Amino acid sequence: MSLKKHFKLFARTALYAGGAIFLVAGSWSFVKIYGPSVAYAPAEVVIFEPPKPKHVLTPDSVKAIYMTSWVAGTREWRADLANFIKKTELNSIVIDVKDYTGRIVFKTGDNFIKNTGSEEVRVSDMQDFIESLHDAGIYAIARITVFQDPFYAKKHPEIAVQKKNGALWKDKKGLSYVDPASREFWDYIVRVARAAEQIGFDELNFDYIRFPSDGNMSDIKFPVSITRNKVEVLSEFFAYLDSQLSDLSVPISADVFGMTTTNYDDLNIGQVLEAIAPHFDYIAPMVYPSHYPPTFRGYKNPAAHPYEVVHYSMSKAVERLLAASTTPAKLRPWIQDFDLGATYDAAKVRAQIQAVYDSGLTSWMSWDAGNKYTRDAYQEE
């Protein structure tokens, strides 16, 4: 009998007058008894749940960098970044487990996910890799891109964001989305999150938890949410995610548009800071200065003013959470370590970090899509 790696079954077999031996076999959700259909002595079966994964506690001040799944699957590159973390003030890493392609990058052990065909194993030793991070005292965060999912959208066009003629809608990058009101998809995301926790990740981070924004918005149709209020749709999703993952021992976090800290409307994507805060342990506004419009605070080029943009944005976020009787300690912004709008050298990266501290916060995460960080921007320890 073949048993799953982390599944243990102890059973007593009973020998009967007819010489038949009854074997009790188990799985995750059921027990089957194999043998002839005759009377038999009671058999005692004890089924043990798979062992709970070991997790690293959330640091008081998270200081993280981002790692793609491709880098995570490349031993030399990932080891170099892990060593970089160990030698500096950094203590955490955010790793893609489901990225903009919609593919799941490790074997989940979940048959439903496997049957969707979404698994594309880019990190074959994910569990061992996470354990090595833990051994080094590094906090591992799983990044899950949610509604931007071209793989699932193509497989299930009936719940995908559509053009008015029913064809798949795509954003400016050619990527499609699932309608955020699809409860079928919510369940799928919960499965992905649980698989990430089970393999050892210490936190579940959700990105693209919004309606689409970049593309032909005049030719767009939502087959599930139809004309429902976007804030209400997302609020229901946030509450569902919160309730379905509440039994896990790891925190959950949300990536949100940077301007959610300064705008009180939903930016036409359904994100309002006060509606998000109750359902997540941490909130990560993406306050990349290059992503702000030239009208922001009167700056012709906000990217040239990293300190001012980040400080103003996060100070406003602190004010709003305090007004909503929510702890500002939930705030953990993403900062920019990539060239866009300006050359981001060590001084500009460091200016953002200082802006975070000056707004009364202590945690931050640094983003570079290519994982080529400005290393002298991070203090050695």
CB neighbours of 86 closer than 8 A, spacing ≥ 6? 136, 137, 138
pLDDT tens-digit readout, 268-300: 999 999 999 999 999 999 999 999 999 899 999
Residue 153 CA to residue 249 CA, distance in Å, equals: 31
Within the chain, which residue ranges are assigned CATH 3.20.20.80?
63-377
pLDDT tens-digit readout, 115-125: 999 999 999 99
Report the mean per-residue pLDDT for the chain.
Answer: 91
| pLDDT of res. 169 | 98
- Sign, CA dihedral 103-284-337-138, equals negative
Range of lowest pLDDT (38-47, 60-69, 200-209): 38-47
pLDDT of residue 23 exceeding 50, the answer is: no
pLDDT tens-digit readout, 165-184: 999 999 999 999 999 999 99
The DSSP output letter for 286 is E
Residue 330 CA to residue 274 CA, distance in Å, equals: 12
Residue 169 CA to residue 177 CA, distance in Å, equals: 8
> What Å distances lie between residue 125 and 30, 69, 108, 117, 296, CA to CA?
29, 12, 12, 19, 45
The arithmetic mean of pLDDT across residues 53-81, rounded, is 98
Contact criterion met (CB below 8 Å) for 290 and 341: yes
Task: Report how far Cα 314 is from the mean position of its chain's Cα atoms.
Answer: 22
DSSP symbols for 215-280: B-TTS-B-TTTTT--HHHHHHHHHHHHHHHTTTSSS-EEEEEEGGGGT-SS-TTTT--HHHHGGG-
Task: Report how far Cα 185 is from the mean position of its chain's Cα atoms.
Answer: 15
pLDDT of residue 26 exceeding 60, the answer is: no
The arithmetic mean of pLDDT across residues 217-222, rounded, is 97
Place of tokens 């995301």: 189
| Band of pLDDT at residue 3, cut at 50, 70 and 90 | very low
| pLDDT of res. 51 | 77
Residue 13: what residue type?
Answer: T
Beta-carbon neighbour count of residue 289 at 10 Å? Answer: 29
pLDDT tens-digit readout, 82-98: 999 999 999 999 999 99
Place of tokens 């003030």: 89
| Band of pLDDT at residue 41, cut at 50, 70 and 90 | very low
Range of lowest pLDDT (22-26, 63-67, 314-318): 22-26
pLDDT of residue 40 exceeding 70, the answer is: no
| pLDDT of res. 320 | 98
- Sign, CA dihedral 265-271-275-280, equals negative
> What Å distances lie between residue 306 and 44, 255, 315, 337, CA to CA?
66, 19, 14, 11
Helix (H) or strand (E) holding 367: strand 364-367
Class of the domain covering 63-377: alpha beta
The arithmetic mean of pLDDT across residues 33-50, rounded, is 50
| Band of pLDDT at residue 197, cut at 50, 70 and 90 | very high
Beta-carbon neighbour count of residue 70 at 10 Å? Answer: 15
| pLDDT of res. 21 | 38
pTM for the predicted model, two decimal places? 0.87
Contact criterion met (CB below 8 Å) for 297 and 269: no
The arithmetic mean of pLDDT across residues 152-162, rounded, is 98
| Band of pLDDT at residue 52, cut at 50, 70 and 90 | confident
Residue 11 CA to residue 22 CA, distance in Å, equals: 10
| Band of pLDDT at residue 15, cut at 50, 70 and 90 | very low
Residue 176 CA to residue 153 CA, distance in Å, equals: 7
| pLDDT of res. 49 | 65
E strands, 136-238, are 139-145, 203-207
pLDDT tens-digit readout, 320-356: 999 999 999 999 999 999 999 999 999 999 999 999 9
The arithmetic mean of pLDDT across residues 102-108, rounded, is 99
Q: In a 3-state reduction of DSSP, which class is residue 117?
A: coil
| pLDDT of res. 28 | 38
pLDDT of residue 307 exceeding 90, the answer is: yes
| Band of pLDDT at residue 47, cut at 50, 70 and 90 | low
Place of tokens 């994100």: 271
Q: In a 3-state reduction of DSSP, which class is residue 50?
A: coil
The arithmetic mean of pLDDT across residues 310-317, rounded, is 99
pLDDT tens-digit readout, 221-248: 999 999 999 999 999 999 999 999 999 9
